[in-house]
Structure 1
Amino acid sequence: MPKTKRASYDAAFKIKAIDLAIRLESNRKAAFELGLNESMVRKWRKQRGQLLGCKKSRKSFRGKGARWPELEAELEDWVNLQRADGRGVSTVQVRLKAKEMAAAKNIDEFTGSASWCFRFMRRRNLSVRMKTTM
């Protein structure tokens, strides 16, 4: 059997494969028509809700999500508000504000460590920078 190169597929392709499988009423027929394994189509059909809700260019759902997503969303809004007012926001300020918000939400196990802060900023596409106005 010849070696096959692993390929990655974006969400738009996966949705097309799902629709084809639904239309043909068979995962196997859809997979054969697209040159895929049937198991891939089965897996994508299970992920249909996620695939419809994400960007069409997304390829996978890897990595852990945030442990406290509502806290992080509120904190991101605060950071963006500070930047809109022309203030630079340091990681120390982010950590202090996060601890304050966590205490207000009665989240006792939140520590707000430096590594959490850097992961939070990476998840939310934030960067440390100086004042945003001149």
Structure 2
Amino acid sequence: MPKLKNYCSYTTIEILLVIILLAVFVAIVLPRFGAGDLLNKQSLKTIAYNIASDIRATRALATSNAWTSAYSIQFDFAQNIYRIIAPNSDILETKTIPGGITASGSPRYDFSSLGATTTGTINLTIASGESWTVAVNGPTGTVRIQKP
């Protein structure tokens, strides 16, 4: 009978142990090198674009329903939420600004049937000091996103 060769290899337990150790290492080390901050910065930019989009959508509702009174978007910075409100004061949609993002600025924009509103800004900031601003031009109702 031929003799079997003894091959050297790793067991499943050894491979799993190495994977677990690498996962723990990555979970501890990556946040210290700013990977967590990078995600927060990207989230901040995304929220700024989402708010700008919702302001534009509210303006579009107001201009497309010219026979009704104003649609508005109202910010509650204490609760980190904002609402899109119909002319009859019904809340059409409520959205949340994620934790870790501080919002401040003009609390309400009422759009006329021509798309005009009050001029104002919404400032979004994270703990590292990174910030984005959503600026609303009152007479035209246009919205810009800028990094100060």
TM-score normalised to structure 1 length = 0.24
| Pair member with larger Rg | 2
More strand by share: 2
